[in-house]
Structure 1
Amino acid sequence: MARRDARNWSDCTKMIGPLCLIASIFMIHGTSGQQVKVEPEVLSYPGQTINLRCAFTDATGIRLTMVTWIYEPKEGKRKNIAVYHPDFDTSYPKSPVKGRVSFTQSPPDLANPSIQISDVRMTDEGKYICEFATYPIGNEQGITYLVMLAKPQNSASIVTVVAGSKPVVVARCESADGRPAAQISWVTTVNGNATTVSKPGADNTVTVTSEYRMAPTAADNGKDISCVVAHRTQVKPESLLNKLAVQYPPQVTIVGYDNNWYVGRTNVMLICQASANPVPTSVNWKTMSGVLPDTVQIVGNELRVLKVDDAVNTTFVCEVTNRIGTTRDQITAMVREPPQNPSNAGVVAGAVIGSLLLLLLVGALIAALVTVSRRQKQGYRANGGSDMKTRMFGGGKKASKNGTGGGAGSGGVGSGNNNGPIYVCNEGSSYQGLGEKNNHHQPLTIGGRPEVVAATPTAQDILLSNELDDAERRKFDELEEDERYDQFSGGAPILQLRPPHDQDDMIGDYLDDDMESQRDGSVISRTAVYV
C-alpha cells in the first residue's frame, strides 16, 4: 500500500493537477469503502496555518476505537504525527511537524478528528493520512495532499552570437525558486530547438531553466523570440519578449551607377551601402589600380565624380570593416563618348515646311480673292457660275420719250432704234427661247416674221443680280428713268451674244466687222440672234 501511494504521489506532482489527486484518493478509498471523508488537496504558502479535515461519515454498527494522522513525505518514511484514543490522552510523536501540529478540538471528536499545522514550511509538503481503527471492519483511511506554493522569479536573456552554420544557444529563460516546478515554452519565427532542465532550489523549491538553440544567420538578427512561463501561482502565463542578437561581418553593396557615364558629364555619385552588426568602423574607397582619379571626392560612404573623363573609366572598390571582419564590393564604370549635339536640320526643315505651308495658304487665299473679284467685275458677261445671265443690247443713243426710233419704216428695223431691249436668259429652266424680264411686250410682225419685243428691265431688276459690281449698279440707276419702256414698236429685237469688249470699234451700236448688208437694204449683225 505504501509503495503504491508513493507512486501515485510521484505521478501527481508531475501533473500538478487536482484530477490526478482526486483519482488517487478515489482509488484508495475504493478499497476501503470511502467511509472516511477528507479534502483531496490543500494549497499553502510558507508561514501559513493549514487545517486538515477528516470525518467518519457512517459509524452505524461500527465501533471506532482510535484515530491516527500519518505524514508521508515525497521521499522518506511514514511517520505518525498525531494519535487519539478515547481511553488515553492525545499523543504527538516525534516528527518534522512536532510542536506545530494539534487537533482542532480538545478533547478531539473521534468521529471528526481534524488537525491543524501552523507556520508551514516548504518541507511540509506531502501526503497526510487520516486512519481509523474500527471494529469489526478494521482500519479505514483518507488521504490529503498538502501542496506548498512558491511564486517563482521568471527571467529571460539573449545570448549574443556570431552568425554561423552550427547550432548555438541564442536565448535563455529561467523560472527560479518556484513550487511546484514551472513550465517553459518558446514562441518565435526562427527555426530552432529548446532544451529544459530542473534542479532543486532552496527550501524545497525548484528552478527550471530552458535554452533555445539554432544556427544563426545575419537575417535572424533582431527577430523576436519570447519565453512563456506557466505556473500555478500565476493567473495567466507570463511572456518575456526579447530580440535575437546575431553578429555578422558587413554586407556591402555599391549603388548609384546608371551605366550612362559619358565624357563631360558632371556630378555623378556612387554610394557604398553596408549592413553589419556591430556597426562598421571604417569605409574605404579605392580602385583596382589603387589610385583614385583627381576628379573624385570621398565624403563618408559616398564617392562623388565632379566631371567624368577617361580617368574614371576604371573599377571602384568599397571596403567596409567592423569587429567581425571586412567585406568589399566593386563596380566597373564604363565611360562613353559624349552624346552628339542635337542637329538644327530638324528645326530648319520644320521652319521651311511651315513657311511653305504658310505661303501656299496665302497664295490660295489670294487666288480665291482674285477669282471672286473677277467674277464681280465681269458681272452679267456670262463668265461666272450664276444660273442667271443678263444681256443688254442697244446703242448709246437715247430714244425719244415716246419709245419710237427714227429712220426706219414700220416694216423694218432701222438704225435709229438705239434702245435695244434687255433680255434675261434663265439657264436653270427648260429652254423656250429667250425669256423676258417682264410681261409688258406684245408680239410684232416684222418683214412677215413674228418678232418678240421685250420691255427694258428696271434698275431694281438689274440690282438683283449677284454678279454686278457697284459701277454697273450706278450706271443703271442713272438710266432707270430714261430707258424704261413698257412696250417697244419698230424694228425687231436683236440679241447680241458677244459683248462689245472694244468700244473704239463700234459703228453705231455694233462692231464694224460684225455688220452685214441685207437685200432689203438693212444692215444686221452677224452675231445677233433674231427671233
Structure 2
Amino acid sequence: MARKDARNKHDFTNIIGLFSVVTLLTFQGALSQQVKVEPEVMSYPSQAVNLRCAFADAGGIQLTQVSWIYEPKEGERLNIAVFHPKFGASYPTSPLKGRVRFTTEPPSLSNPSIQISDVKMTDEGKYICEYATYPSGNEQGVTSLIMLAKPRNSASGVTVIASTVAAGAKPVVVARCESADGRPAAQITWVTAVNGNATSASTAGADNTVTVSSQYMLVPTAADNGKDISCLVSHRTQAKPESFLMKLAIEYPPQVTIVGYDDNWYMGRTNVALTCQATANPIPTTITWKTMTGQMPDTVQVKENVLTVLKVDEQANTTFVCEVKNRLGTGKDQVTVMVREPSVVPSNAGVVAGAVIGSLLALLLVAALIAVLVTRSRRQQQGYRGNPNHSSYDIKSRIFGGGKKGSKNGTGAGAGGNGVGGNNSPIYVYKEGSAHDGLTDKANHHVPLHLGGRGEGGVATAQDILLSGELDEAERRKFDQLEDDEESYDHFGRGVPILQLRPPHDQDGIMGGYLDDDMESQRDGSVISRTAVYV
C-alpha cells in the first residue's frame, strides 16, 4: 500500500514538473517577442554580414546587459560579443574573434547590432541576441546565418558499346552530371526519352560545402544512339535551373540495307542501280560489293556505296552482296536479282483502232438519241396541228362531224370536201327512187356508218355514243393526221361522184347492214366501200 502511494506521488510530481516546463517555455516565447531580430540572413563567403537586434519596449523593465551567442550546427554555444553599460564591450575568445564587432561605437543597449566580416562557410549557424533584464530575467531573439556557395555545375556523356544480348544485359552509365562545392546542396534531375534510371550521391567538400553527383544508367542499344538527354541543376543561388543538353553515344557494328531492286530487271534494261545504306558508330571505314559467284558482271560499275548495271543481261542474274566494316565489326546485306524477259509494248495501231471504234460508237449513240428526240417532237407537233383543242374533242363532234375546214360545194362535208377521206364527214350514197336524184346525204338521217350507227330514224342511240367514246388516243391522232393531209386527198374525191351499188328493193334496215358490211377501213384512217364505183 505504501509502495502504491509512493508511485502515485512520483507520477504527480512528474506531471507538475512537465507543466512547469511548458509554462516557462510559453512565458519565454511571449517575452521573446520584445527582442526584435531577423529570423534569417544569407551571405556568401568573404563578405561582411550585419546581425541586427533591438529591445522593442523596455517600459518598466530594467536592461542590465546584452550578449551575442554563437550556436553552430555541431558543437557548444560560444559567447562572441558582450556589452555592459558600466564595463563596456567585450569580445570573448571564439572562431569569430577579430572579425566580429558592435555596429555602433560606443555600443548601446537599445541597439546592440553586430557585424561579422570576411565570413566563412564555417560561420553558418544560429546567432542569439540575449538581454539580461530586471526583474523579468533573460530575453532573447534568434537569427539563422545561412552561408551560400554557388556551385560549379558540369555534365558529360559516356560512350558505351551497345548490348548484344537482350536477356540479362546490365545497365551501364551513359551520362554524368555534377554540382561541386555548393551550399546548400544542389538538386539534379534528368530529362530524356530513353528508358533508364538515375542515381545521385552527396559528398562534403572543403569549407563546409557539398558536392552532388548524379549519373544516368540504361541498357544501351543501337536505337538509343544520338538521342537527347538533359541534366538540370537547381540551386538556391541560381535564378533558374541550369540545363546541360547531351547526345547519347552508343557504339555498334554496321547495320546494312540494300535498296533499289524493284523486281523488274528485264533483258536489255539499262542503268539500274543498287544502293548500300549503312548505319554505324563509329563511322564505317570500308564498303565492299561482291557476288555470291565471286565474279562481278562486266556490265557493272561500282562507285562507293552505289552499284550500277549499265545493261541487264544474263550475267546480272545473280546475288549481289554489300559488306560494311567499322572498328567494332562487319555488317552485310544481299539481294538476289531475277532477270526477266522484256515486256511486250502494246501496238500503237491497236490503240488508234480502239479509239476510232469508241468514237464511232459514241457518235452512233448520239445520233440515235437525236433521232428519237426529233421523232417524238414531230409526233407531238402533228398531234397539236390535227386537234389544237383536245378539250373540245368530245363524243358529239366525233359522231356528227367536227371538221376544221368549212364545207365545200355547199354539201356541209368536213375534211375531204366531197365526203371522201374524212372519218368525221357524212357518207354520201346513191339511192334509187329518192325524192332527190343523185347523191344523198345519209348523215342527215343516220349515224356515220364507220361508227356502226343503226339508230331508227337516223338518231344515234346511247350505245352508239358510248361505243364511240372507246376510241383511244391513237385513233384521234389518225383522224387529226387525215385533217392535216386533206389537201393531198382533195384531188382524189373532188368532182368525182361515188356510185354505190346496192340490191334492188331495199327494205328498212337492210341498207344499214349492207353498208356496214360493205365499208372497209384503210391504213390511213379512211373508209372506202368495197362495191362503190368511182367515176
1:78 equivalent to 2:77? Answer: yes
Matched residue type, 1:45: Y
Q: 1:311 aligns with which of 315, 320, 328?
A: 315
Q: Counterparts of 1:224 and 1:217 in 2: how far apart (Å)? A: 14
Deviation at 1:337, TM superposition (A): 2.8
Matched residue type, 1:187: V
The equivalent of 1:173 in structure 2 is 177
Matched residue type, 2:296: L
The equivalent of 1:41 in structure 2 is 40
The equivalent of 1:91 in structure 2 is 90
TM-score, normalised to structure 2, is 0.60
**Which whole-Å deviations, capped at 9, do the CAs of 1:389-430 have from their partners, x for residues lacking one?**
xxxxxxxxxxxxxxxxxxxxxxxxxxxxxxxxxx99975656
Q: 1:296 aligns with which of 284, 293, 300?
A: 300
Matched residue type, 1:157: S
1:113 equivalent to 2:112? Answer: yes
Deviation at 1:42, TM superposition (A): 1.0
Q: Counterparts of 2:60 and 2:424 in 1: how far apart (Å)? A: 154
TM-aligned CA distance change 1:252 to 1:64, over 3 Å = same
Q: Counterparts of 2:293 and 2:74 in 1: how far apart (Å)? A: 79
TM-aligned CA distance change 1:270 to 1:530, over 3 Å = same
TM-aligned CA distance change 1:202 to 1:352, over 3 Å = closer
Q: Counterparts of 2:351 and 2:183 in 1: how far apart (Å)? A: 94
- Aligned pairs for 1:101-140 (under 5 A) are 101-140=100-139
Q: 2:195 aligns with which of 183, 186, 191?
A: 191
The answer to whether the 8 Å contact 2:32/2:141 transfers is: no
TM-aligned CA distance change 1:291 to 1:30, over 3 Å = farther
- Aligned pairs for 1:419-434 (under 5 A) are 427=421
**Which whole-Å deviations, capped at 9, do the CAs of 1:19-77 have from their partners, x for residues lacking one?**
xxxxxxx9996386544332111111233222111223344454433322122233333
Q: Counterparts of 1:228 and 1:89 in 2: how far apart (Å)? A: 53
Q: Counterparts of 2:123 and 2:359 in 1: how far apart (Å)? A: 115
User: Any idea what SS the aligned residue of 1:107 has?
Assistant: coil
Q: Counterparts of 1:84 and 1:167 in 2: how far apart (Å)? A: 63
**Which whole-Å deviations, capped at 9, do the CAs of 1:324-369 have from their partners, x for residues lacking one?**
32211122222223334547895698599799999x99xxxxxxxx
The equivalent of 2:434 in structure 1 is none
Matched residue type, 2:113: S
Q: Counterparts of 1:133 and 1:187 in 2: how far apart (Å)? A: 56
Q: Counterparts of 2:359 and 2:241 in 1: how far apart (Å)? A: 89
TM-aligned CA distance change 1:328 to 1:63, over 3 Å = same
Q: Counterparts of 1:157 and 1:46 in 2: how far apart (Å)? A: 29
The equivalent of 2:515 in structure 1 is none
Q: Counterparts of 1:207 and 1:312 in 2: how far apart (Å)? A: 66
Deviation at 1:92, TM superposition (A): 1.0
Matched residue type, 1:335: V
Q: 1:206 aligns with which of 201, 205, 210?
A: 210
Greater helix share, 1 or 2? 2
- Aligned pairs for 1:146-295 (under 5 A) are 146-164=145-163, 165-295=169-299
Deviation at 1:169, TM superposition (A): 1.7
TM-aligned CA distance change 1:487 to 1:309, over 3 Å = closer
- Which protein shows a greater Rg? 1
TM-score, normalised to structure 1, is 0.60
Cα RMSD (Å)? 4.6
Q: How many pairs were matched up? A: 384
TM-aligned CA distance change 1:240 to 1:345, over 3 Å = closer
Matched residue type, 1:200: A
The equivalent of 1:330 in structure 2 is 334
The answer to whether the 8 Å contact 1:29/1:142 transfers is: no
Q: Counterparts of 1:317 and 1:352 in 2: how far apart (Å)? A: 52
Unaligned segments of structure 2, at least 5 residues: 1-24, 164-168, 366-416, 429-436, 440-485, 500-531
- Aligned pairs for 1:58-77 (under 5 A) are 58-77=57-76
TM-aligned CA distance change 1:340 to 1:433, over 3 Å = same
